[in-house]
Structure 1
Amino acid sequence: MPDVPLVLLHGGGPGVDAVSNWAATANRLPFRCVAPDLLGFGTRIVEGPDGPRAWARARADQVLALLDREGLEVVNLVGNSAAGGAAALALLAAAPERVGRAVVMGGAGTGPLPAEVPFYDEPTKESMRATLGRLVADESVHRDLLDDLTRVRFDQALRPGAEKAFRSMFGADTAPLDLTTITTPVLALHGERDRVSPVEVSERLAAALPHGRLAVVAGAGHWIHVDRPDEFCRLVEEFISA
C-alpha cells in the first residue's frame, strides 16, 4: 500500500514529542509520513483522563480527528511503545475501517505498568539521561544522541502541565482492551535486548491478535528504530507494502 499515508505515533517517555522520537527514521521510510504530537506530550500537553487505557482511547480519538481534518480515509500506523502503540491498538478497535495495517513496538503498553514513575520522582538532567539510556541496547553507541535528547526532553518535561499529565497516565484504569476483536493485520516488533519491556509481552500480544505477527530484532533495545534503523525501516516497509 505505497500510496497510503503512514501515521507515526511516538512513545510515552517524559518530555517526548514526535520530532525527537522519529528524527532518525521518518525521512527514510518510503511513505508520506504524518507524525503528530500525542495528547499529553509536546505541543499537546493537556489535562486528560486517569489511566493508560483511558489515555489510549483519547489519543485514538485525537488521531481519528486528525484523519478527518486531513481528508485521510485510510492510513497505516506505526505505534511506539506504551503511548503510540497503545493508541494504535485503541484506534484499531474503535475504527478498523480507517487502518490498512499496523506496526506496534515494545509491547504497545500491554505489559504491566512500571514500578516507579520515570524521571519525575527525581527531575534532574542526570535522571533524564538515565531514563533515556535504558531505551537503547548499548548507551556507548548513542552517547551523543542521548546527550542531545537529554537537553531537549528535560526542558520539555518541565513545561507547565507536563508532569500532571504524565503522572495521570499511571493512574487507576478500566478493563483491558479485548485484543481478539482486532482484525487488522498487526506486526509486533520487539528488541531482543529491550530493558523496558521483556520480549514475552510482545509474544503474548502477537498471539492474542487474530492477525498478529511477531518480529524480534536481534541486538536492539526498546528503541528499535534507533538501535537498528535499517532493519526497522525494512521490516516496516515490507509489512506495510505486503
Structure 2
Amino acid sequence: MSARSEPRRVEHVALDGERLHTAFVPGNGTPLLLCNDFAANLEILDEFALALGRPVLCFDLPGVGTSAEVTTMRRMPALAQLLAGLLDHYGLTRPVDVMGIGWGGLLAQQFAHSQRDRVRRLVLAATASGQLMFPGRLASLMRLARPDALSRVAPDAEQARTVFGGRRNDECQQIAQAMSRASAPTRRGYAAQLYALTGFSSLPWLHRLNVPTLVMAGDDDSIVPTVNARVLALLLPQARLEILRGAGHWFVLERTDEVVRMLDEFLEAKVAITAADQNSVF
C-alpha cells in the first residue's frame, strides 16, 4: 500500500444551515469526492483515502461522525446540492471524480445526475440503484439495523466476515481494524439518511447518466448482492464492471491495493468507455 505522509486538512464547514466535518487529503491530479456508506464516519476510510495517491475530499453528513446535528431533513437531490456547496468551499470549480460506497453510491449517482457538469468520472462500489434493489442477507442486515451497529458489529475478522462477507480472515481483519474507528451517528442523523433513501431510485434516469463509470462489486457481498452491480452496469451508457472474487461489502478495506490499481487505471485512462466494455458486463 502506498500511503502518503502529507497532512490532511480537517475542518468543520458551514453550509446551508448545516456544519459538516470534512477532511481533504492533498495530492496531484483530479480531486476525488468520496461518499461514504450508511452511517459510516469518514475515519473508517482514513487508510483507503491516503492510499489513493490523489487529492481526496471526504465528509460526514449531518449527524454523522463529528458533524453537527441535522437541522434540515433532505432528500437525495438536496444532499447533492449540499455537496456542490462543499466543492465550492474548497475552490473545486472544475469537474471532479466522484466515488460512492454502499449508501454513498446512491448519493454519488444523484450528484452525477443533478450536477452533471461537475463530474468527470464516476465510481460506484458495493452499491445499487436505491430502494428497488435486490436485498442482501437478512441476518447481516438485521445486525446492522441499529445506529451504533458499525462500532459494535465487527470486533474481529471472523465477525466482519460473517456480517459483510469476504472469504479470507486476514483480509477481513482490515475491516475490523477500520470499524474500531467507527462512531455512532445521532438518532436524527441516522433517521436523516433513511429519509434521503426513502422513495429514491436511479432506475428512471440511469440510461441518461452519460458519464464514464466504473462499477465495482465483491462477489461475496452480504449487504448488496452482486446482481445489483450488474443491473447498474447494464443500464449505464458508459459503464465498466469489475467483480472482485471472494471479496465482501467492504472490499475497499479488504483489497485496498487491488482497488487502488483499478481506480488508477480507470481514472487515468485517456479514452472513454468503449462499446465492448459495456457489453462485457456479464
For residues 168-207 of structure 1, the aligned pairs below 5 Å read 168-169=195-196, 172-173=198-199, 176=202, 177-207=204-234
Give the unaligned 5+ runs of structure 1: none
For residues 1-242 of structure 1, the aligned pairs below 5 Å read 3-12=29-38, 14=39, 16-20=40-44, 22-44=45-67, 45-46=69-70, 48-49=72-73, 54=75, 56-73=76-93, 74-82=95-103, 84-110=104-130, 111-112=133-134, 118-120=144-146, 127=153, 129=155, 134-138=163-167, 140-141=169-170, 145-153=174-182, 156-157=183-184, 159=186, 161-169=188-196, 172-173=198-199, 176=202, 177-242=204-269
Aligned residue type for 2:170: V
Larger displacement relative to structure 2 (110-119 or 88-97): 110-119
- Check 1:75–1:160 CA distance in 2 against 1; reply closer, same or farther (3 A cut): same
Larger displacement relative to structure 2 (90-99 or 159-168): 159-168
- Check 1:59–1:139 CA distance in 2 against 1; reply closer, same or farther (3 A cut): farther
Give the unaligned 5+ runs of structure 2: 1-27, 270-282
State the TM-score, normalizing by the size of structure 2.
0.70
SS in 1 for 2:240: strand
Within 1, Cα distance between the matches of 2:117 and 2:160?
37
Aligned residue type for 1:42: G
CA RMSD of aligned residues (A): 3.0
Larger displacement relative to structure 2 (137-146 or 198-207): 137-146
Aligned residue type for 1:77: V
Bigger fraction of residues in strand = 2
Task: Give 1:68 deviation, angstroms.
Answer: 1.2
| Percent identity over paired residues | 23
SS in 1 for 2:59: coil
Q: Which has the higher contact order (CA 8 A, sep 6+)?
A: 1
Asked if structure 2 preserves the Cα contact closer than 8 Å seen for 1:9 and 1:78, the reply is yes
SS in 2 for 1:226: helix
Task: Give 1:100 deviation, angstroms.
Answer: 0.5
Within 2, Cα distance between the matches of 1:157 and 1:234?
31
Within 1, Cα distance between the matches of 2:100 and 2:126?
9
Aligned residue type for 2:101: N
State the TM-score, normalizing by the size of structure 1.
0.80
Within 2, Cα distance between the matches of 1:213 and 1:101?
12
Asked if structure 2 preserves the Cα contact closer than 8 Å seen for 1:119 and 1:131, the reply is no
- Check 1:109–1:46 CA distance in 2 against 1; reply closer, same or farther (3 A cut): farther
TM-superposition CA deviations, 1:154-196 (whole Å, max 9, x none): xx316463443355456x4256451112111111000121111
Task: Give 1:39 deviation, angstroms.
Answer: 3.8
Within 1, Cα distance between the matches of 2:152 and 2:201?
36
